[in-house]
Amino acid sequence: MIVKLGGSVITHKESSPPAVNEKHLSRITKELAVHNGKLIVVLGGGAYGHQAAHKHGFGNPNTASTQLLAGIPEIRHNMSLLASKVEKELNTQGIPGVVISPFMFVTLRDNLIDQFPTKIIEETLNSGTTVIIHGDVCIDETNSASILSGDTIAKYLAEQLNPKAVFIGTNVDGVMDDNPTVNPNAKHIPLINNSNKNRILSLTGPSSTTDVTGGMTKKITELLTLASQNMDIVIFNLLVTGRLTALLENSPVICTRIQFT
Ligand code: IPE
């Protein structure tokens, strides 16, 4: 099972210096505790990742490599802080977990994954330990650095490890046909499949706050490449108490499922 915790839920996304949303984090780790079996928890960056990444010019194609490289320590430091707070909270809830940081063993090339060995992740899971992995800045083999988002990690690990389910926790009910903060009549889309995927991709835009990794459109595009595998792929609202529990227990819940059969 792979669960992504969106940065806008587990952090106060606009807060500077960055801060964890303790209330949500503690509730979410309690919800995760109902899960029995192997678990990978993927963290988004939220206030810890996006602000620092933005400050150092990530997300802007004109930023010089030297400036991007100079941003590595701050982004790494922030993400390590966030990850260790989550690690502590999971362990407090009785979920033995360890942080495995992408920077240490993943390399990118032109923003895409180049090397991402999964043996350490598989062996950690086999030992009965939960893996906590997070969006990170990574060395890009073009003599630069790039951001590896939590969504890309979730998708990649799903492809490699073939889990039963991938649950992507966000701050919305799933995919909407318009931006609900601008259009109050925006409708929730419960299912994305072959017949509506192109229409939906043309409707969804990037998320509104500082987000250097692409927002909802990129999420869906990445998840769509997974959907041919036999796996439950869900985008859901992690702000709402009980939704993660319902997904873990296989009960009906408001969400967007991505399905191709
Ligand atoms: C971003 O990861 C990681 C960094 C900016 C270092 P995500 O793109 O998955 O984060 P959220 O969930 O949108 O905050």
- Rounded CA gap, 27 and 233, in Å? 22
Percent of the chain predicted with pLDDT > 70:
95
Q: With 70 as the cut, is the pLDDT of residue 18 above it?
A: yes
Give the least confident one: 81-95, 168-182, 186-200, 207-221.
207-221
CA of 58 to the centre of ligand 1 (A): 12
pLDDT, tens digit, 9 for 90 and up, residues 69-113: 999 999 999 999 999 999 999 999 999 999 999 999 999 999 999
How many residues are recorded in the chain?
A: 261
Dist. CA 49 → ligand 1 center (Å): 6
* C-alpha dist (Å) from residue 141 to 111, 138, 144: 9, 9, 7
In this prediction, residue 210 carries a pLDDT of 47
- The CB-side HSE value for 75 (13 A sphere, CA atoms) comes to 34
Task: State the distance from the centre of ligand 1 to the C-alpha of 261, rounded, in angstroms.
Answer: 30
Q: What is the pLDDT of residue 203?
A: 76
Reported confidence tier of residue 52, pLDDT bands at 50, 70, 90: very high
Q: Is 198 helix (H, G, I), strand (E, B) or coil?
A: helix
Ligand 1 atom 8: residue of nearest CA: 149
Tokens of 193: 């499949």
Q: Which residues line ligand 1 (CB under 6 A)?
A: 6-8, 44-46, 49-50, 53, 75, 79, 135-137, 147, 149-151, 211-213
The pTM for the full model equals 0.94
Q: What is the pLDDT of residues 199-217, one digit of tens each?
A: 888 876 555 444 555 578 8
Q: What is the mean pLDDT of the chain?
A: 92
Average of per-residue pLDDT across 156-166 = 96
pLDDT at 43 over 70: yes
Residue 185 has pLDDT above 90, yes or no: no
Distance 66 CA to ligand 1 centre (A): 22
Residue with the larger pLDDT of the pair 139 and 185: 139
Separation of 152 CA from ligand 1 center, angstroms?
A: 10
Residue 96: its H or E element: none
- The pLDDT assigned to 214 comes to 59
**Given this model, what pLDDT does residue 204 score?**
66
Q: Looking at residue 143, what DSSP letter applies?
A: T
Atom nearest to 150 CA in ligand 1: 9
